Structure 1
Amino acid sequence: MCRLVRARLRAVVCGVRGARRDAGMVTSEYAVGLIAAAAFAVLLYKVVTSDAVSAELQDIVKRALDARM
């Protein structure tokens, strides 16, 4: 059992060492990531500035400021 585990670990470690590692994203991955981040930012902005969310946030702030200790 121990030999089998050692052999598998050795195969995994040697396989990782021999494989080519990516240093980072390529240009197309950067572009897709940037577009996704921008789309998420627009969606978040739309949600936060909507009337319902804006009213709720104002209500929370008013209740926090009017709270008595």
Structure 2
Amino acid sequence: MTPTQLYRYLLRNVRKLPKESQNHYRHYIRQNFNSHSDETDPERIKQIVVQAEKDMQWLLEKYKVK
């Protein structure tokens, strides 16, 4: 997954969260994307992508309707 694909994936999944928290996480995703946009090390980019995917899965589980 490329960083751009990750960004789109995360923003699409934010829509699955409760309405009141979507703006917060959307802002958080944008801030992190911007802060890591100058990253050039492929290994570090891979680590960031893997961690972001794990974090999104955790959020989706956290807000899952029981």
User: What TM-score do you get using the length of structure 1 for normalisation?
Assistant: 0.38
User: What TM-score do you get using the length of structure 2 for normalisation?
Assistant: 0.39
Higher relative contact order (CA 8 A, sep 6+): 2
